[in-house]
Amino acid sequence: MTSAAGPASAHERRSAADAAGVITLGACAAWSLITAAAHGGRPEGVLLAVLAVAAGYASGRICGELLPVAAPGAGALTGLGLAVAAPHINPGSQATSPLGQTGATAALLTLAAGAACCAAWAARPPGLRLGLRLLAAGIAVTAAVLGSTSGFVACLGVLLCSLAADRMHRRPVGLGGLVLAVALVTGATWAIAEDALPDGLTTSLEGQLTQHRVLLWHDALDMAGREPGLGTGPGRFAELSPTATQTLPPDGKPHSAPFQQAAEQGILGVVLLAAVFCWVLYALWKSPRPTPVVLTAGAALTALAAISAVGNALSFTTVTAGAGLLAGLATARPASAEPEPAQDTVDPGGQARSDPLER
């Protein structure tokens, strides 16, 4: 017999995740207004990004409940279409490196691959599931054709993680690994910007990232060092960075989301950016969806975070809205039940139990 405490407890966990999201996004919006008031910055970009994430997340929750297969499948095709048919989303030539485009192109293709894989796990007919996985593989190939090396690697990584997700019995372990991956990428970018790596390794990485991008990171860290509390103000990096003013055409971005937050909104801005990512993973942890869907979405959003650490992906509204949409799809409770093989665990009292949130 199923205890009523189970569904009630699951509802409480989801409500806590939703409340955490409201608080975190609200804090991001409020802090951007505070830092803008202190230094005369322009918070519109941050406010638009917050609104896009919230709107995408809400839309994903609704569509994921009604159409758990069709909604992510349509999202994958839409992301692919935007990446292919909208060349204006690519950054300028100064941001191009051997990694390929690390802006909206790579991000949209990565999110599209993640959505296709999530749809595949939600599909029941084997033929449809195979077709959706082939769509994800086709998205990876498209990234390579478009010259986005980072997008190809990210899409391929998401596909491989999705295929291996059903072997992960405990989702906290998988999500913890994703947090570690983002921390390592962010730490590596900081080490490059601070010249903390051996000379040979630094030279090799700068060759992949371009010296221009690394100089932008230097400028961002210098600004953060001068104004660690409130930063220089949202949207003011372009006018205060010597490297950015020499860029043709100028785009005014340091091409790293953590460094942009540190320069324009101080240390607390970086903390809030990290809090948004942690909130998304927390919501995925408490999601009622099967573990493979959760870990697939987590892998795609982690790849997006890695791309954002070395590019300007989060500067595009389509990307932030897409990230929120994928998170919403992966945390929705579908109207039709999704079967997931039960794997019994043993509680401290020795009684067998099965909890999908622990898998």
Q: Give the DSSP per-residue string, 109-164.
A: HHHHHHHHHHHHHH--SHHHHHHHHHHHHHHHHHHHHTT-HHHHHHHHHHHHHHHH
Helix (H/G/I), strand (E/B), else coil: 353? strand
Looking up tokens 């086709």 gives 138
Looking up tokens 């990307």 gives 319
Q: What is the mean pLDDT of residues 323-328?
A: 97
Q: Identify the weakest region by mean pLDDT among 12-21, 222-231, 345-354.
A: 345-354
Helix (H/G/I), strand (E/B), else coil: 1? coil
Higher-scoring residue by pLDDT: 87, 261: 261
Query: pLDDT tens for residues 23-51?
Result: 999 999 999 999 999 988 899 999 999 99
Within a 10 A sphere around the Cβ of 270, how many other Cβ atoms?
20
φ, ψ for residue 145 (rounded to 5)? -65, -35
CA atoms of 86 and 70, how far apart (whole Å): 23
Q: What is the mean pLDDT of residues 279-299?
A: 96
Tell me the C-alpha to C-alpha distance, in Å, between residue 188 and each of 75, 103, 195, 313.
32, 19, 10, 18
φ, ψ for residue 343 (rounded to 5)? -125, 110
Check: CB of residue 37 under 8 Å from CB of residue 96: no
CA atoms of 41 and 80, how far apart (whole Å): 34
Give the rounded percent of residues in the chain with a pLDDT score beyond 90: 65
What the block records as the tokens of 199 is 């000379």
Looking up tokens 């017999």 gives 1
pLDDT band at 95 (very low <50, low <70, confident <90, very high): very low
Higher-scoring residue by pLDDT: 280, 15: 280
Looking at residue 196, what DSSP letter applies?
A: -
CA atoms of 266 and 322, how far apart (whole Å): 26
Helices (DSSP H) in the chain: which residue ranges? 5-39, 44-66, 70-85, 104-122, 126-145, 149-164, 171-193, 199-209, 211-226, 237-240, 242-245, 257-285, 291-309, 317-331
What the block records as the tokens of 114 is 């993640």
Average pLDDT, the chain: 86
CA atoms of 46 and 37, how far apart (whole Å): 14
Give the amino acid at 155: C
Query: pLDDT tens for residues 44-55?
Result: 999 999 999 999
Which pLDDT belongs to residue 348? 40
CA atoms of 198 and 181, how far apart (whole Å): 21
Give the rounded percent of residues in the chain with a pLDDT score beyond 70: 84
- What is the torsional sign of CA 108, 113, 118, 120? positive
CA atoms of 181 and 195, how far apart (whole Å): 21
What the block records as the tokens of 258 is 């953590």
Which pLDDT belongs to residue 170? 87
Q: Which residues of 102-130 are buried (b: 16+ CB within 10 A; e: fewer)?
A: bbbbbbbbbbbbbbbbbbbbbbeeeeebe
- What is the torsional sign of CA 223, 224, 228, 229? positive
